[in-house]
Amino acid sequence: MRRFLVAGNWKMNTDRAGGTALATAVAAADPGPKTDVLVCPPFPYLIPVGEALQGSGVRLGAQDVWYEPSGAFTGEVSVAMLRDTGCSHVVLGHSERRHILGETDETICRKVQAAIAGHLTVILCVGELLEEREAGQTEAVLNRQLAGGLEGISEQDAADLVIAYEPVWAIGTGVTASPDQAETAHAHIRNWLADRYNAAFSDRIRILYGGSVKPDNAQTLMQQSNVDGALVGGASLKADSFLAIVDAARSLAAAE
């Protein structure tokens, strides 16, 4: 059975005091034995947030990384630096980086390769724009982003990989994919992984849903057989809503 993962993407939000208080509240959560919890604060708060999480099972992740190990890359942060702050995970290919900051599949793939080589667990985000969905291109977009982001990544490299399906039209909009829409996309991603790697591998990989996940829709989304957790933006910024989503995963896991 796949474990649930509930990950909070804080984006460019919080400050030192607020982020530390939020992490302290999340650290007090009891996700049960079959659910993993992760928070991804902005770079400057990784260390204080990591300190607030110490002794809890909640993991620390970053929202991005650069693929070179060191050198003249002003403004960038390396895999080793993230490891040094206590990160175990990194989110790559988030739609805001693809569509606001112009990241390509090729750049994302170099980041995926560097992160895996440096022993960070990658959460690779994929998802279509509204016009792509309306034009019937959802699966083609997912295929392109998966193939591009995982180019040259072997089954062994990808052992800990997590995929997040995040339809761009659902991110930060309050519009959520229906459970059916999410399940259809997740099943497509799982089939793609089975074709590219193999069925046993594909069956082990966690596929998170992201896009306006809230306490009132988390359970029905995560109830879908191919939805293994959530990547949560807005609702991860308040301890009570994030913890309610963690709790939804905990009860689903307990019922399995």
**Contact map string, positions 163 to 202, toward ligand PEP, x by CB under 6 A:** ---x----xx------------------------------
Sign of CA dihedral 170, 160, 11, 252: positive
Q: Does 247 bind ligand PEP (CB under 6 A)?
A: no
Q: How far is the CB of 78 from ligand PEP (least distance, A)?
A: 23
Q: Which is nearer to ligand PEP, 185 or 213 (CB)?
A: 213
Q: Does 153 bind ligand PEP (CB under 6 A)?
A: no
> Could you say which of 9, 14, 226, 241 contacts ligand PEP (CB under 6 A)?
9
Q: How far is the CB of 179 from ligand PEP (least distance, A)?
A: 16
**Contact map string, positions 210 to 229, toward ligand PEP, x by CB under 6 A:** xxxx----------------
> Could you say which of 92, 231, 248, 253 contacts ligand PEP (CB under 6 A)?
231
Looking from the CA of 130 toward its CB, the CA atoms found within 13 Å total 7
Q: Does 23 bind ligand PEP (CB under 6 A)?
A: no
> Could you say which of 93, 149, 167, 234 contacts ligand PEP (CB under 6 A)?
234
Q: Which residues are catalytic?
A: 94, 166
- Would you tell me how many other CB atoms lie within 10 Å of the CB of residue 232? 28
Q: How far is the CB of 211 from ligand PEP (least distance, A)?
A: 5
Q: Which is nearer to ligand PEP, 162 or 197 (CB)?
A: 162
Q: Does 232 bind ligand PEP (CB under 6 A)?
A: yes
Number of residues engaging ligand PEP in binding (CB under 6 A):
14
Q: Which residues contact ligand PEP (rule: CB under 6 A)? A: 9, 11, 166, 171-172, 210-213, 231-235
